[in-house]
Amino acid sequence: MEDILQSIDTDMLVSMGLSVLFALVLIIVALFVAGWAKRATSRGLDRANVDPTLGKFFSNLARYLVLIIAGIAVLGEFGVNVASLAAVLAAAGFAVGLALQGSLQNFAAGVMLLIFRPFRVDDVVETAGERGKIFEISLFTTQMDTPDNRRVIIPNGEIFGATIENVTFHDTRRVDVSVGTDYPASLDETRAVLTAAAESVEGRLEDKDVVVYLDSLGDSCINWSVRVWATTADYWDVRESLTQAVKDHLDDAGIGIPYPQMDVHLDKV
């Protein structure tokens, strides 16, 4: 009887020893494979010109997936019910997901922003009710600096679900200046004066035509739109110069820019 018990104990120790040895080997191999998976994923994403923030996230994710799979295999080797463990982890993940629903939404939106790139760092963007230059795009938030030098941090979920206007996406922009002129002024003369004003502006793109557009007949003035093109970097300087040129040329030509007015007639009873 004692021999049988000793034989059983020996078999159990050998089996346990083999399990421990297998677990150690599996852990060592998993560490090497996880490191290789991280480096391979990082190199692949770098060659694909993926954003560094997104590349770091996916490379770490590949490493953790390998380690999790190895951990489950080790637990299964020691007789742990892996199916029950997976169910518990799934339930815990579901509970955590509900608790972090807003954060997960911002995270998913951040990943989409980094993949589709509607804007980049240093772009001037208007979105989610804010306008400014993009300072940083992270997985959960986007930071921008406003024209009056305020730092605004916006959750990515609000950005991805809103209209995004990338003001500096193109290298050139059209500059529009609207002006109203007196009704007695000749339309042909006014058009010629406004065209001369636009052509005199420094910094405009001369390879694009100047446009003077008769917009509408208003209540107290004739409305015109004067349009030139400029590089995006020179937009505001050209816009100011065009506005000044329009005013100066109209004054020199004796064409007035009327104020809104209303004529009141009193009838004698």
List the single range of 76-80, 192-196, 210-214, 216-220 with lowest mean pLDDT.
76-80
Q: Which two tokens stand for residue 28?
A: 């060592």
pLDDT at 135: 92
CATH of the domain at 243: 3.30.70.100
pLDDT > 70: what percent of the chain? 78
The residues that bridge with 145 in the sheet, in sequence order, are 133, 151
Look up the domain containing 140 and give its range: 118-166
Q: According to the per-residue pLDDT averaged within each range, which of 9-13, 104-108, 117-121 is highest?
A: 117-121
Q: Per-residue pLDDT for 87 more than 70?
A: no
Average pLDDT value for residue range 185-198: 96
Average pLDDT value for residue range 136-143: 88
Average pLDDT value for residue range 201-213: 95
- For residue 224, tell me if it sits in a domain: yes
Let me know whether 53 and 134 are in one domain. Answer: no
Higher pLDDT: 204 or 5? It is: 204
Let me know whether 29 and 9 are in one domain. Answer: yes
Average pLDDT value for residue range 197-201: 96
- For residue 111, tell me if it sits in a domain: no
pLDDT at 13: 62
pLDDT band at 5 (very low <50, low <70, confident <90, very high): very low
Q: How far apart (Å, rounded) are the C-alpha atoms in residues 61 and 38?
A: 8
- For residue 267, tell me if it sits in a domain: no
Please return the burial class of 159, using the count of CB atoms within 10 Å of its CB with bins 0-12, 13-18 and 19+: buried
Q: Per-residue pLDDT for 17 more than 70?
A: no
Let me know whether 58 and 74 are in one domain. Answer: yes
- For residue 35, tell me if it sits in a domain: yes
Among residues 141, 136, 144, the alpha carbon closest in space to that of 106 is found at 141
CA distance readout (Å), 263 to 112, 180, 219, 242: 58, 18, 11, 32
Let me know whether 92 and 161 are in one domain. Answer: no
Listing from the earlier edge strand, what are the strands of the sheet with 130-137? Answer: 151-155, 141-145, 130-137, 124-127, 165-166
Higher pLDDT: 218 or 247? It is: 247
Let me know whether 189 and 234 are in one domain. Answer: yes
pLDDT band at 95 (very low <50, low <70, confident <90, very high): low
Average pLDDT value for residue range 235-256: 96
Q: Per-residue pLDDT for 214 more than 70?
A: yes
Let me know whether 94 and 11 are in one domain. Answer: yes
Average pLDDT value for residue range 129-153: 92
CATH of the domain at 134: 2.30.30.60
Let me know whether 58 and 141 are in one domain. Answer: no
**Considering 145, 166, 187, which residue would you say is the last residue of a domain?**
166
Average pLDDT value for residue range 83-97: 62
List the single range of 6-15, 53-62, 84-93, 238-247 with lowest mean pLDDT.
6-15
pLDDT at 169: 94
pLDDT band at 43 (very low <50, low <70, confident <90, very high): confident
CATH of the domain at 70: 1.10.287.1260
- For residue 145, tell me if it sits in a domain: yes
What is the domain count for the chain? Answer: 3
- For residue 124, tell me if it sits in a domain: yes
- For residue 70, tell me if it sits in a domain: yes
pLDDT at 209: 94
Let me know whether 152 and 199 are in one domain. Answer: no
Q: According to the per-residue pLDDT averaged within each range, which of 19-33, 38-52, 108-122, 188-202 is highest?
A: 188-202
pLDDT at 25: 81
What is the overall mean pLDDT for the chain? 84
List the single range of 44-53, 136-145, 181-190 with lowest mean pLDDT.
44-53
Q: How far apart (Å, rounded) are the C-alpha atoms in residues 222 and 213?
A: 11
Let me know whether 176 and 226 are in one domain. Answer: yes
Let me know whether 224 and 207 are in one domain. Answer: yes
- For residues 216 and 223, is the Cβ–Cβ distance under 8 A? yes
Let me know whether 156 and 190 are in one domain. Answer: no
- For residue 262, tell me if it sits in a domain: no
Q: How far apart (Å, rounded) are the C-alpha atoms in residues 14 and 6?
A: 12
Let me know whether 41 and 122 are in one domain. Answer: no
pLDDT at 176: 97
